[in-house]
Amino acid sequence: MKRIKIYLMAAVCGLFTTAAAQAENPVFRIAVLKFGTVNWELDSIAHHGDDTANGFRMEVQGMAGGSASQIAFQGGEADAMVTDWLWVARQRAAGKDYVFIPYSRAVGGMLVKQDSPAQSLSDMKGTSIGIAGGPLDKSWLILQAYAEQEFGMDLKADTEQVFGAPPLIFKSALSGEVDGALNYWHFNAKMQAAGMRSLITVAEASTALGLDPNTPLLGYVVKGDYLRDNRAVVEGFAQASRAAKERLAGDDAEWDRLRPVMNVKTDAQFEALKAGFRDGIPDAGPIDEEAAARMLALMARLGGSELVGEATTLPQGVFLSPGG
């Protein structure tokens, strides 16, 4: 009986110690889309305690849309959100001190049905293309530049565009309402699992344009003053994010654990999403800022101030510099 009491006391002490450690760790609040793929990484961080192991406690705030995330972040209700670094560059050029932490380099591409006669982007002349997002969607702009360079083709003038939310483009492509579809990578993965094929990826088009497809487009964003006041927390989060990426890159069992929250209906969808996420994991290390500057220059030429604001050249300090 005495031995059992000792064990119970040790267990209770352990619980109090863990609770105390968690209470001492500063909270890092992240606003993200409630059902976005970033939640897979954040789930892995939380499940394996990568946050507390790196000196902070993560709090994920599920949002209904990107605008809600921005409002929470800019209003101080969240310490970070997820967006692309081009938006961060635009904000910095406008005087806002935001900093980007890489998350993913996954991008979509143009898909067509298996029996489509199209073999290259030039074959899309006279067809309809479903595009996730609006006319200033970055993938759409890159494909326009690629079509012009490779085929002397005005992709915008030579095709009919149907803009819509990713789920709508997904359904329209599978039903044949549009001849081709340019969608976000995770919808592309599901479309390919359903039998569609890739005509060209944005990564392939980027390479042909002299851009570096390894430049991570999406990432976590924090405010500069938060970074200065909480440097250890931000760098701890970056380390936790990298730990989760390495786990997801090589551990199939972790994906089996995540499957219930991935909204997959078939094994083919599951495998396609797993492969797509892994393919989008950026290399560790600093961002190639010269490559990023080339992408920004292209976006400024194609999208103008409506897309990049005053950021015609890459502002200093866009990307997190560990220890700097």
Task: Characterize 134-165 residue by residue with b for buried, 16 or more Cβ atoms within 10 angstroms of its Cβ, and e for exposed.
Answer: eeebbbbbbbbbbbeeebebebbeebebbbbe
Q: What pLDDT is attached to residue 322? A: 64
Confidence (pLDDT) at 298? 94
C-alpha span between 98 and 259 (Å, rounded): 33
List the chain residues with pLDDT less than 70: 1-23, 322-324
Q: Which of 117, 108, 133, 130 is nearest to 175 (CA)?
A: 130
Domains of the chain: 2-105+216-291 (3.40.190.10), 109-208 (3.40.190.10)
Residue partners of 156: CB distance under 8 A and separation at least 6: 144
Residue 22 CB neighbours (<10 A): 13
* Secondary structure class of 166 (helix, strand, coil): helix
Q: What is the pLDDT of residue 11?
A: 45
Whether 69 and 82 have beta carbons less than 8 Å apart is answered as yes
Reading phi first (left if > 0) and then psi (alpha if -120 to 50, else beta), residue 286 is in beta
Is residue 115 packed enough to be buried (19+ CB in 10 Å), middle (13-18) or exposed (0-12)? exposed
State the pLDDT at residue 66.
87
Per residue in 202-224, pLDDT (tens digit) is 999 999 999 998 899 999 999 99
Looking at residue 24, its pLDDT comes to 84
What's the pLDDT at 285?
A: 84
| Residues paired with 27 in a beta bridge | 57
